[in-house]
């Protein structure tokens, strides 16, 4: 360490079951040296893809001994095509197509992630490619009466992943019971800024179609505006896939001595014994894999009608009086795999039956059985007396609009005073309540199954 004190490494396979004493590592007549034949396959591979230090005189347990540029690249472009046509003196049409921004960026050094020569490890990939199409048709019936029809469509796919969408764990010889095609996480290796960021993929593919029709009619001092709005969305969303391809932690105390001043239920290492780098070398780690919900295929609709009267009361005073009605029918998941909670029955409510959750890969029987053993109940929406979508729509969103503009003074000294009031409605963004962190979100039930592999304690109970 920085004070010149030596870490002593001990062989965990020589542990005395009664005293927890261990024999120090030795090889070729030298203490504190591990037999090279005992290197774990994973450690051997990590060493092979790690660049040699640029400052070999620096102790890597004290400071960084590798300094190099981390390659990054990005590609961005936007292409827009527009077509305008005047069909007649009263009819106009335009079409616009846009592709972009299209970005492909690969970052080879995320925060606290190892730089390696393996292109699949230590990479962060972000890809976004959006497309949109807009069509507009305007019809002038008379100088005081005209209509505008708008039709727009858009598609926005987004992918973020640390590494490729492949089963990297299998290639590294690591377990991957869920078969997740991501990079497994490797942490606490004993070296600063040397760990592998887990795949943690997130994916969105959003598509929307919007139809708007706006009518304007001028009658005397009144400019009447009215119209409607229709929006249909597909919100395909994969939340953060944290630790789904496995999480490997080398902070295991495997090469340390037990400190008798600590308890056996919370053992600590004796000072200057053991090191995570030694644990990694012999391949003793804590392993966790999380089962998380997969894609949500959410479908959404939006309706609106409005009317507004821009009333020019006097040459100086204009009033804006209007009313807007907005409706958002309940979200719908394509396969009915949404969940809710019934506080009266103290039960998890499913948008579909458990077999449907199993078939779609959104639940596993072992996790459900474990929850049931703890007293958790599972009900279908019909059993709970709830709609299949588990949501109740509100069809009474009426929003008044009142505004006024008054002109003071004349010519260059003129000024306009404006005031307004309105009631608007919005809905809860679907991405917000489908996000997942390391903790199961409280707003949406989630089947989470953690499995830990650890050495057997003396009493035979896994810790």
pLDDT at 452 over 70: no
Letter string b/e over residues 426-455, b meaning 16 or more CB atoms within 10 A of that residue's CB: eeeeeeeebebeeeeeeebbbbbbeeeeee
Element (H, E) at 370: helix 365-373
pLDDT for the residue 314 = 94
pLDDT for the residue 431 = 58
pLDDT for the residue 436 = 52
Strand partners, 420: 403
By CB atoms closer than 10 A (0-12, 13-18, 19+), residue 421 is exposed
**Single pTM value for the model:** 0.73
pLDDT for the residue 438 = 41
pLDDT digits (tens, 9 = 90+) for 320-356: 999 999 998 888 888 888 888 888 888 999 988 899 8
Closest CA relative to residue 379, chosen from 352, 360, 344: 352
Hey, how many other C-beta atoms are within 10 angstroms of the C-beta on 375? 7
pLDDT band at 457 (very low <50, low <70, confident <90, very high): very low
The mean pLDDT of 56-82, rounded to a whole number, is 86
pLDDT for the residue 439 = 38
Virtual CA dihedral for 42, 44, 49, 52, nearest 10 degrees? 140
pLDDT for the residue 112 = 46
CA distance linking residue 3 with residue 250, whole number of Å: 24
Which residues are within 8 A (CB) of 177 and not within 5 positions of it... i.e. 6 or more apart?
289, 451
Hey, how many other C-beta atoms are within 10 angstroms of the C-beta on 149? 16
Contact 129, 178 (CB under 8 A): no
More confident site: 116 or 435: 116
Tokens 């009031």 map to which residue? 421
pLDDT digits (tens, 9 = 90+) for 116-145: 888 777 777 778 888 999 999 999 999 999
pLDDT at 361 over 60: yes
pLDDT for the residue 364 = 85
Strand partners, 217: 145, 224
pLDDT > 70: percent of the chain: 88
pLDDT digits (tens, 9 = 90+) for 386-401: 888 888 888 999 999 9
CA distance linking residue 445 with residue 350, whole number of Å: 10
pLDDT digits (tens, 9 = 90+) for 263-293: 888 889 999 999 999 999 999 999 998 887 7
Q: Tell which phi-psi region holds residue 326, choosing left (phi > 0), alpha (psi between -120 and 50) or beta.
A: beta
């Amino acid at each position: 360490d920085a004070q010149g004190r030596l870490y002593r490494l001990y062989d965990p396979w020589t542990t005395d079951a009664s005293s927890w004493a261990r024999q120090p590592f030795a090889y070729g007549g030298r203490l504190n040296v591990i037999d090279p034949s005992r290197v774990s396959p994973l450690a051997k591979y990590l060493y092979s893809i790690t660049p040699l230090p640029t400052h070999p005189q620096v102790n890597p347990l004290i400071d960084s001994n590798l300094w190099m540029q981390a390659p990054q690249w990005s590609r961005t472009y936007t292409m827009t095509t527009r077509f305008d046509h005047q069909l007649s003196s009263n009819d106009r049409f335009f079409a616009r197509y846009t592709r972009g921004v299209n970005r492909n960026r690969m970052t080879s050094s995320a925060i606290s992630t190892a730089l390696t020569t393996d292109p699949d490890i230590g990479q962060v990939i972000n890809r976004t490619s959006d497309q949109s199409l807009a069509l507009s048709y305007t019809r002038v019936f008379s100088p005081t009466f005209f209509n505008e029809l708008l039709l727009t469509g858009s598609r926005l796919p987004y992918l973020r992943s640390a590494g490729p969408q492949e089963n990297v764990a299998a290639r590294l010889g690591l377990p991957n019971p869920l078969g997740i095609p991501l990079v497994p996480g490797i942490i606490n290796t004993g070296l600063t800024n040397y760990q592998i960021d887990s795949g943690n993929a997130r994916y969105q593919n959003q598509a929307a179609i919007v139809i708007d029709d706006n009518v304007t009619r001028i009658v005397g001092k009144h400019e009447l505006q009215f119209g409607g709005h229709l929006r249909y969305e597909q919100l395909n969303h994969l939340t953060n896939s944290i630790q789904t391809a496995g999480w490997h932690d080398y902070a295991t105390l495997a090469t340390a001595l037990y400190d008798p001043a600590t308890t056996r239920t919370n053992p600590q290492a004796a000072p200057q014994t053991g090191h995570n780098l030694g644990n990694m070398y012999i391949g003793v780690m804590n392993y966790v894999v999380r089962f998380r919900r997969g894609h949500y295929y959410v479908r959404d609709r939006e309706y609106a009608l409005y009317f507004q009267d821009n009333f020019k009361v006097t040459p100086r005073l204009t009033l804006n009086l209007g009313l807007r009605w907005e409706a958002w029918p309940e979200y719908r998941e394509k396969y009915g795999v949404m969940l809710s909670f019934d506080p009266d029955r103290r039960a998890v409510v499913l948008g579909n039956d458990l077999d449907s959750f199993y078939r779609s890969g959104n639940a596993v029987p072992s996790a459900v059985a474990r929850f049931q053993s703890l007293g958790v109940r599972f009900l279908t929406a019909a059993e709970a007396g709830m709609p299949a979508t588990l949501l109740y729509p509100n069809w009474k969103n009426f929003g008044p609009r009142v505004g006024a503009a008054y002109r003071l003074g004349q010519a260059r000294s003129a000024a306009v005073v404006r005031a307004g009031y309105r009631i608007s409605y919005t809905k809860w963004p679907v991405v917000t309540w489908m996000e997942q962190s390391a903790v199961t979100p409280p707003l949406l039930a989630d089947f989470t199954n953690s499995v830990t592999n650890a050495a057997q304690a003396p009493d035979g109970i896994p810790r």
